[in-house]
Amino acid sequence: MGGRMKDLRALHGRVAATPAPEASIPSAPPEAAPRAKVRSRGADVGSHPLFRQVSVGRAMGQVTGLASPFFRTVSAVDGIRAEVEGRWVDHFASYDYLSMNGDPRLHDAATAAMATYGVSARAARPAGGNLALHEDLDAALAAFVGHEAALVTVSGHATNVAIIRTLMGPEDVVLADALSHNSVFEGIRASGATHVSVPHDDADWLDDWLTANRHKYGRALICVEGLYSMDGDCADLPAFVEVKERHDAWLTLDEAHSFGVLGATGRGLCEATGVDPRRVDVIMGTLSKTLCSCGGVIAGSRDLIDLMRYNAPGFLYSVGMPVPSAAATLAALRIMAAEPERVARLASRGATMLRLMTERGLETGPCAGHAVTPVIIGDSLRTAWVSNGLLEDGVNVPCMVAPALPDRSARLRFFLNADHTDDVLERAADLTAARVRASREVRL
């Protein structure tokens, strides 16, 4: 068993050392290097290198007796509790940050809209699926964010891809924070632009690089996030705005996890830092988190939104947002605007969770105490063991392990909701600390 485990850990180490997809982006457009001849590998999916990662994960589970901590079946949801794998547990795996998902006003809005439009938009928006409901949602989001115009899309991930793919080309450069979401890197690949990885939240490094290299490129786009979902920290937005203005660059702010979370009324990082949203060229967000739906949004100048309406592939060639999703999003937005106390309650929960975890000696990295609290364990097998143990204890918390991130950064991620109570948070912190301590004694 010991030798087999040693071999398995060695194999796991090789897979974990394989760069995540975003880390393998070329620093120059693909056309810059000739294609090398490769031997055909046939059509066997099992020979694909990514399938090897799946196989290694299964093998580790079989050898260690660890059940997979992923794709757990959720059979029912009741606020901050959920039925997971057949038992009711405290749920920390939900993006329902403001605890609006079960609000009957969302259900009523979706039902009323379906009575008017049916369920589907039935066509792409340019070709017959442009509902008045969509236009109302566009306008409401633009007004709430504080930009001239906005456009909703059917996929949050595809929104970043569409923005970068549409704005940038082979003569351009995209400077993305090293911890940016996968969708940013996929957009860079699709655009053919040069990719530069910016050390996390380092505006000074970015300033120096642009000073030395800006003249080599046509357009420059800087990508940062309002709330980084891995570490739970925020971008230094005022500094990045100053840098982009000094170097004639565009700035895109990904508010997927910060919309509804940051700022006194949930308008995001601009509100939290006092930056005029119009100084940020592109603000994007997802509708699947605070707004309890699915899809994405792009906000910016009228010129930008017109450009996207007629050119962004992810919008132009996709059906309009489904009716119940659009109606529920609009209702959630109105509730959030009318009830800012939800935002304040979430802020209190985030600060409490960070305090509880740090008091128990758990590693939380640069977490700022908002809607995401990581607990860094630093070993993928032990992280999965802790996550599984917590589920047995009645706490469902997702984990991130290699190869999605380096093995030394393997972690739990607690997503906080406004309705989590202090008692629930304290219980989760106590159980987590106990499981982390026990993991150090387990032979894996």
Nearest-angstrom CA–CA distance, 206 and 217: 15
Which string of DSSP letters, residue by residue, matches 49-60? HHHHHHHHHHHH
Q: What sign for the dihedral angle of Cα 256, 259, 263, 269?
A: positive
The whole-chain average pLDDT of the chain stands at: 91
In the chain the first and final C-alpha atoms are separated, in Å, by: 10
Cα–Cα dist 66/433, whole Å: 20
Residues in Cβ contact with 260 at an 8 Å cutoff, skipping those fewer than 6 apart: 97, 98, 266, 268, 289, 290, 291, 336, 343
Whether residue 23 is predicted with pLDDT greater than 70 in this model: the reply is no
pLDDT at 109 over 90: yes
- What does the block give as tokens for 360? 């128990």
CA distance 266 to 346: 10
What is the pLDDT at residue 442? 81
Return the DSSP state at 19: P
Record the pTM. Answer: 0.88
Q: Is the CB of residue 170 less than 8 Å from the CB of residue 31? A: yes
47-100 pLDDT tens trace: 888 877 777 667 666 656 788 899 999 999 999 999 999 999 999 999 999 999
pLDDT digits (tens, 9 = 90+) for 181-206: 999 999 999 999 999 999 999 999 99
Residue 94 region by backbone torsions, left for phi larger than 0, else alpha for psi between -120 and 50, else beta: beta
**How many degrees, rounded to 5, is the angle at CA 334 between CA 333 and CA 337?**
90
Architecture of domain 73-97+340-439: Alpha-Beta Complex (3.90)
Residue 390 DSSP one-character state:
H
128: pLDDT strictly greater than 90: yes
Q: How far is C-alpha 58 from the chain's CA centre?
A: 26
Which candidate, 382, 397, 374, places its Cα nearest to that of 179? Answer: 374
Instruction: State residue 14's pLDDT score.
Output: 45
Q: What is the 8-class DSSP label of residue 234?
A: -
Residue 404 contacts by C-beta under 8 Å, 6 or more apart in sequence?
20
Does domain 104-338 fall under CATH 3.40.50.300? My reply is no
What span, in angstroms and rounded, lies between the C-alpha atoms of 411 and 378?
Answer: 7
| Beta-strand relationship, 149-153 and 250-254 | unpaired
User: For the chain, which residues make up each domain, given as ranges?
Assistant: 73-97+340-439, 104-338
Is the pLDDT at 354 greater than 70, yes or no? Answer: yes
The two tokens of residue 70 are 């992923």
